[in-house]
Chains A and B, each alone.
Chain A
Amino acid sequence: MSRMVVLTGNHAVAYAAKLARVDIVAAYPITPQTSIVEKIAELIESGDMDAVMINVESEHSALAVCYGSAIAGARVLTATSSHGLLYMHEWVHWAARARIPLVMAVTTRTIGTPWNIWPDHSDFMDQRDAGWIMGFAADNQEVLDMVIQGFKISEDPRVYLPVMIGLEGFILGHTATPVELPGQKIIDEWLGPRRQGFLVDGREPVAIGNLAWPEDTEEIFMDLQKSMREALTVIQEVDREYSKIVGREYGGSVQCIRCSDAKYLAVSMGAWSGDLIEAINNLREEGYPVGVLRIRFYRPFPHSEVWKYSRGVKGVIVFDRAISFGAWGQIYTDLVASMHIYTSKLPFITDVIAGIGGVNITYSDFYELVKNFIDRIERDEEPPRFTWYHKRR
């Protein structure tokens, strides 16, 4: 039976790991991820969770240990953040290119220097090109649901890729809200035993990762790209199936809020989407025909879903909480490219970089930014294509 509990986002990751019957957790402590590993350790030591905890000496080894356990047939989870994620980056690529199912929670935090523990999406976005399925939750309930869904997606034979789940440090990681825990039995039945393309457990000789010639290597990566396309379908299916057993449907790769009849779209990802939705609700009351398109899965990029909702709109305002220095925000770049697959006549699209280094962006910031964007277009003024929205305390 399901039950309501009050959990931080980090603890939601731990309970999701328990519900997914993770065999092995290998992790290293880093702020603001630490309470994930602390909670899992507590669940294991108290006998509530049947799993092995390996307290490794670095994040590089955290993912390496997880990789070893996964290829030998264990369901594994790790969690990290910021510099830890950067330190394990070599393994982020390795795990995906080897097609190993596993789930990693990323409690996001900006990257130094200077030292700063506040959240943005720069650590998460830095993993963009590594071949992972990348989800980003907007509240603690979704954190729990997405980690469980993550295992299902990761272990789908059409996918067989690792899954990364982002959640903002502190904003979700350390903030407790009510979360519904699904019953163990329904999750057991739905997830089933762990699946993987092959096992390295010594029963028969298997070689993985051998030196490969360029053409063979390229074919392996082409297959990964093909699986990414498949994953778009799998993510939708998994979300629909999950909604049938727990009663919560998010919309697959994207969540659309009031955008079926919208003439303007505001695009976002992560916890601040809550403030944005609030702003949009008020703007709607004032007669602004605007909706929110929330990116739930950033990789594979949901290009067809984006087109489905952006087709025919007059303007799109994208909120990026990370930047590719010298270029633009990553969501903006991907959104423009993916819309261009479908049309050469793009609507007004503007990129707002904000909340970098943990700068707090509130409901009223979103309200003003979206309102100004729409007002300018309605006055036939050209809105700026790129804004770094900065404010001081």
Chain B
Amino acid sequence: MYSRKSPLPYKMRDVVLPGDAACPGCPIPIAWKVLGAVFGEKMILVIPACCSSVVVGPYPYSSIKASVVHVAFASAAAVASGIAEALERRGITDVYVVAWAGDGGTADIGMASLSGAAERNHNIIYIMYDNEAYMNTGIQRSSATPYGAWTTTTPIIGKTEHKKDVAKIMIAHGIPYVATASIGYPHDLYAKLERAKSIHGFKFIHLHAPCPVGWRFDPRYTIKVAKLAVETGMWILYEYYDGKLRISGPSKPFIDSKRRKPIEEYLKLQGRFRKITPEKVEEIRKYVDENWRWVKLLS
């Protein structure tokens, strides 16, 4: 269960070594430290083309003291499935296969392989770290980019469609475990990874990961922006298993819409929403309300 008080195990620095190639304020190593705390070296990270392919550092070095398999863009779920099946066949049960893919590699080009692997229910944990655009190639729009956001391929009027809700799609797959998480709440992520670790079959975690470079905010605010997404209700933390949705601790106070901070507080910190109009903010508000309605319906 989620507990605000439980400290994270300090072994996380054993796996995520200093000297990676991340930008200042990058959410990726923050999340990896939590992964390291949960799995230690007994983890095989499967990484398709994304920022993380660079963040681990160039050959012959690696900043992750666990196994890392870099794969073609669309294939994180497929390769992870193959590894998991081989481990199972060889009787290796203490190693965890974690597909670690960005929003483009998941919601766009990797969607078919993700859906296929989920339907076949391979024993893997799939983490979509969602920085809401193609950051590695230079901030191009993905289907997970939110409405109204500037990107280099929505350069003047901003994105005109809402964010693709991948967790919702994964719930529809009927897999044993689906969760949303945020790098702003490492204890919550830790608890979710621990639960995922204990479940056999396909586990999906949609991890919100604010990117200072792409979202145009000061690198010192990564955690602040991540928390504001939750506090404004823009990002809802929950777990879905055994046919029931459970709103997670950090999001619980915000079930009551009156307790949510105004979404402007979240938007105004980010340069990508600099030119957003009041009408578009209103449209985002409607989208947030609809998400909450849906989440409450399932909980």
Contact = CB atoms under 8 A, between A and B. Distances in A.
A56 B78 contact: yes
Interface string B45-72: 0100000011011111110111111111
Contacts of A56: 78, 116, 120
A58 interface: yes
A211 B89 contact: no
A71 B95 CA distance: 14
Given A57-B119, A73-B90, A202-B44, A24 B82 contact: yes
B71 A207 contact: no
A208 B113 CA distance: 21
Given A61-B78, A213-B59, A205 B67 contact: yes
Interface in B95-123: 95-96, 112-113, 115-117, 119-120
Given A57-B112, A64-B71, A202-B67, A74 B86 contact: yes
A211 B78 contact: no
B83 A72 contact: yes
Contact of B42 (A60, A202, A208, A211): A202
Contact of B58 (A61, A64, A212): A212
B74 interface: yes
Contact of B79 (A68, A90, A202, A213): A68
Residue among A72, A204, A206, A216 with the highest chain B CB neighbour number at 10 A: A72
Given A24-B89, A72-B90, A211-B59, A202 B82 contact: no
B69 A68 contact: yes
B59 A71 contact: no
Contacts of A61: 75, 77-78, 112-113, 116-117
A224 B278 CA distance: 59
B228 interface: no
27 contacts: A23-B89, A54-B120, A57-B112, A57-B119, A58-B116, A60-B113, A64-B72, A67-B71, A68-B69, A68-B82, A68-B86, A71-B69, A73-B86, A90-B72, A200-B67, A201-B92, A202-B41, A203-B92, A205-B64, A209-B68, A209-B69, A209-B70, A210-B56, A210-B58, A210-B61, A211-B56, A211-B70
A216 B72 CA distance: 19
Nearest to B77: A61
A68 B89 CA distance: 13
B207 interface: no
A327 B46 CA distance: 41
Interface residues of A, number: 41
Given A94-B72, A201-B95, A207 B113 contact: no
B151 interface: no
B87 interface: yes
A170 interface: no
Contacts of B267: none
B74 to A, nearest CB: 6
A52 interface: yes
Interface of A: 23-24, 26, 52, 54-58, 60-61, 64-74, 76, 90-91, 94, 200-213, 216
Q: Which residue of A68, A91, A202, A207 has the most chain B CB atoms within 10 A of its CB atom?
A: A68
B51 to A, nearest CB: 11
B80 interface: yes
B85 A69 contact: yes
B113 A202 contact: no
B46 to A, nearest CB: 7
Contact of B82 (A64, A205, A210, A212): A64
Given A201-B95, A205-B67, A213-B58, A72 B87 contact: yes
B131 interface: no
A56 B56 CA distance: 29
Contacts of B74: 60
A94 B96 CA distance: 23
A65 B81 contact: yes
B43 interface: yes
Nearest to A217: B59
Given A58-B116, A201-B92, A211-B59, A23 B86 contact: yes
Contacts of B84: 68
Given A73-B86, A74-B85, A210 B70 contact: yes
B166 to A, nearest CB: 17
Given A24-B82, A57-B112, A212 B59 contact: yes
Nearest to B47: A209
B82 A26 contact: yes
Contacts of A76: 82
Contacts of A66: 82
A195 B61 CA distance: 25
Contacts of A72: 44, 82-83, 86-87, 90
B71 to A, nearest CB: 7
Contacts of A202: 41-44, 66-67, 87, 92, 94-96
Given A201-B95, A207-B62, 4 more contacts: A202-B67, A205-B66, A211-B58, A211-B59
A286 B89 CA distance: 60
B100 to A, nearest CB: 13
Interface in B197-213: none
A71 B115 CA distance: 23
